[in-house]
Amino acid sequence: MEIIPAIDIIDGKCVRLTQGDYTQKIIYNENPLAVAKSFEDAGLKRLHLVDLDGAKAGTVKNWAVLQEIAAFTTLSIDFGGGIKKDKDLKIIFESGAAYATIGSLAVKEPEVFKGWIESYGADKFLLGADVKSEKIAVAGWQETTDILIYDFLKDYINSGVQQVFCTDVSKDGKLEGPSIALYQKILEKFPTLWFIASGGVSSMDDLYALKEIGCSGAIVGKAIYEGRIALSELKHLL
């Protein structure tokens, strides 16, 4: 199972939110490149980079952070937050992103996203699915749709999407453990999907549990920053 550390960016700094709430912000490091290098030094290969300013503004803002990390590390970076237009996509790929992370746009403007899949290839995208009670949530998790996660995934898998990460919004940033039961149901329905768990990881035991049910990857953020998982421990899963 691939461990994918997360860096969330506000004002060029490495932060974490709880359940997507911008008022519950903790600044962990003012130098995202140093954090990314520490992940690389630990043997990790990927990075989940989130532009929270961009997500709020609806257009990419922190592409310079992406550019710097891509230039000075060998990490394979997926970048999300504020990718709404063709110009946003162009900026992040030119700045060194290996994958564009698409979430709300895939819910609200599916034809735009499917057009991008046709133009760039499905292997250039990571689909993000935020879930509340098995239904897709959007708009910073303030809005829950009537779309079941399983129908949402099926549609995009049929369109060629290969990698998906799923966040149970009730778990994110709370260090209460991941949604094992939800992920098991998804994996039973889509056994060949490259499925990445996200949200709630608080310990190495959580990561072993996710590996046990067949997750291809796990995004880990707050547990690393809070010292609950040491980077040296992750070598056991690499």
Residues in the chain: 238
Arithmetic mean of pLDDT, 198-218: 96
Arithmetic mean of pLDDT, 197-216: 96
| 2-237 has CATH 3.40.50.300 classification | no
Enclosing H/E stretch for 17: strand 13-18
Arithmetic mean of pLDDT, 96-115: 96
pLDDT at 23: 79
Taking a C-beta distance cutoff of 8 angstroms, is the pair 18, 172 a contact? yes
pLDDT at 62: 96
Amino acid at residue number 125: F
| pLDDT more than 90, % of the chain | 83
Kindly report the pTM of this predicted structure.
0.94
How far is Cα 6 from Cα 173, in angstroms, rounded to an integer?
A: 12
**Domain map of the chain by residue range?**
2-237
Arithmetic mean of pLDDT, 180-196: 96
Q: Which residues contact 157 (CB under 8 A, 6 or more apart)?
A: 190, 193
Q: How confident is the model at residue 22 (pLDDT cuts 50, 70, 90)?
A: confident
pLDDT at 5 over 70: yes
Arithmetic mean of pLDDT, 80-100: 97
pLDDT in tens, 30-63: 999 999 999 999 999 999 999 999 988 999 999 9
Task: Copy the structure tokens of residue 236.
Answer: 């056991």
Catalytic residues: 8, 130
For strands 135-138 and 125-132, give the pairing. Answer: antiparallel
pLDDT at 24 over 70: yes
pLDDT at 140 over 60: no
Average pLDDT, the chain: 93
pLDDT in tens, 145-185: 999 999 999 999 999 999 999 998 877 666 789 999 999 99
pLDDT at 175: 76
Among candidate residues 60, 113, 54, the one with its CA nearest the CA of residue 88: 60
